[in-house]
Amino acid sequence: MSTEPNWKLVSDCHGFAQLEGPWRELETKWQGGTPFQSYAWCRHWLSHRGKRYAPYILVSNDQTLIAPFAMTIIGGTRVLRLIGMGDSDYLGLVTTMPSAEAWAAVIKELHGRKAEWHLLHLHSIKQKDVVLSALGRYKGISVIERDYEKCPYLVICGTWEGYLGQRKKVKYESRRWAKRVNELGPVKVDSISPPLSPDMLGEMTDVERDSWKWNHGAAALKPGEQAEFICAMLQDPQMSARVWCLRADAKLIAFAVVFEDKDSWYYYLPSFRSSYHNAGAYLLSCIVEEAFRLGCRSVDLLQGDHGYKSLWTDQAVGVAEILACNSLWGRLLLLGYIARWRASQSVTVRRFRDTFGKVGDRRPVPQVEKMVVSSVLVGLAGFLR
């Protein structure tokens, strides 16, 4: 029988830096971890995207479990979130323990520290049932949850040729994409690992500037916090990633940022110039073909309800959003989230948000917080009515 861990709380940047050694050691043998829980990812997120956050990291005494939370203040309410909120497709714990055991220990410790926080906001969580089970053991904690998004993924098994034999439409389309792209001139596909040069990052920004994303609020490299975060991450040699590049006549026409762990790839940030319609699809086909060649276990297409993903796979994993509160202030904020969730089901509201808020497939964290504060007022009005 496992013993209950004792905990240390890390609440400053100096303490966070001292966790680098044990954190990176856990990355070599963790259970269920992804690049979005890596030390490099979390460090850059805190530096560039977490400026309104303070570390609130729980570390077990034997350093086999790190709960990478950070705290922010919304309308006077202390909110705990996992580091990476808004930019990570999967969020979770850094541990070698089974997820049920790890979450049970973390929630128990947070319950013991309930005077230090008002609202626990867990986003993009794969282990929904495990977390809900852990939270359900404690009276006085109000919990709401929703299925937030689906993440399609390909299981890489057999050969590329065998896969094409099973998915005839991919076989047909990949030939058409190759034909169209090769009509553009000499074509080259390669990949670059961090650190990327400033010139390369500049080329990637030019591609996004020429893409549909730039004017629709979804361009990750448009100047701002998100671009600073991504550029810092791609200039870190310890970040396990590759940038796949498609060039025609030596001009970069498409790229995709793909994160890697021991046996899986994560298709995070693709972009292509609008005048080269088949470039993005062709580059993805090259990435998947290479995954088969190298014996990768899976290619995860991550969050986003984009139609092209259904062409590649019928499999998907769901992620959830879970909120738990233990105080009056937390319950008032819960009302705001409930109002926002209901509004998100309205097609009209979504169109208004996307048009005037310029909200893309990776919503910047500050916009989320502004929307929640507004939603609190809406929810409170409805509650009082």
Task: State pLDDT tens for residues 288-301.
Answer: 999 999 999 999 99
Q: Is the peptide bond before 364 cis (omega within 30 degrees of 0)?
A: no
Task: Specify which residues 67 forms β-bridges with.
Answer: 58
Q: Which residue has the tokens 């014996």?
A: 295
pLDDT of residue 126: 95
Q: Which letter, b or e, does each residue of 95-106 get, where b requires 16 or more Cβ atoms within 10 Å of its Cβ? A: bbbebeebbbbb
Secondary structure (3-state) at 366: helix
- If you ran DSSP here, which 8-state letter would residue 38 be given? S
Q: Dihedral of CA 164/170/173/174: which sign?
A: negative
Mean pLDDT across the chain:
90
Q: Each residue of 320-346: pLDDT tens digit?
A: 999 999 888 888 888 888 888 888 776
Task: Confirm if 153 and 301 have CB atoms less than 8 A apart.
Answer: yes
Residue 219 CA, chain-centre distance (Å), reads: 15
Q: Which residue has the higher pLDDT, 197 or 373?
A: 197
CB count within 10 Å of CB 322 equals 19
Q: What whole-number distance in Å separates Cα of residue 57 and Cα of residue 64?
A: 13
CB count within 10 Å of CB 230 equals 22
Q: Which residue has the tokens 């904020």?
A: 333
Residue 128 CA, chain-centre distance (Å), reads: 16
Q: Each residue of 123-150: pLDDT tens digit?
A: 999 999 999 999 999 988 999 999 999 9
Task: Confirm if 331 and 325 have CB atoms less than 8 A apart.
Answer: yes
Task: Confirm if 319 and 124 have CB atoms less than 8 A apart.
Answer: yes
Q: What residue type is 5 in one-letter code?
A: P
Whether the predicted pLDDT of 50 surpasses 50: yes
Q: Each residue of 8-23: pLDDT tens digit?
A: 999 999 999 999 999 9
Cα-Cα end-to-end distance for the chain = 51
Q: Which residue has the higher pLDDT, 85 or 343?
A: 85
Whether the predicted pLDDT of 383 surpasses 90: no
Q: Which residue ranges form the domains of the chain, and what is each CATH number?
A: 7-150+318-384 (3.40.630), 157-296 (3.40.630.30)
Q: Which residue has the higher pLDDT, 219 or 333?
A: 219
Q: What residue type is 177 in one-letter code?
A: W
pLDDT of residue 347: 64
As a whole-number percent, the residues of the chain with pLDDT over 70 amount to: 89
- If you ran DSSP here, which 8-state letter would residue 91 be given? B
pLDDT band at 156 (very low <50, low <70, confident <90, very high): very high
- If you ran DSSP here, which 8-state letter would residue 85 be given? T
Secondary structure (3-state) at 45: helix
- If you ran DSSP here, which 8-state letter would residue 78 be given? E
Task: Confirm if 143 and 323 have CB atoms less than 8 A apart.
Answer: yes
- Composition of the chain by helix, strand, coil, percent to 5: 45, 25, 30
Q: Which letter, b or e, does each residue of 128-145 get, where b requires 16 or more Cβ atoms within 10 Å of its Cβ? A: bebbbebbeebeebeeeb
Q: What is the pTM of this model?
A: 0.89
Beta strands per DSSP E along 97-186: 119-125, 142-155
Secondary structure (3-state) at 99: helix
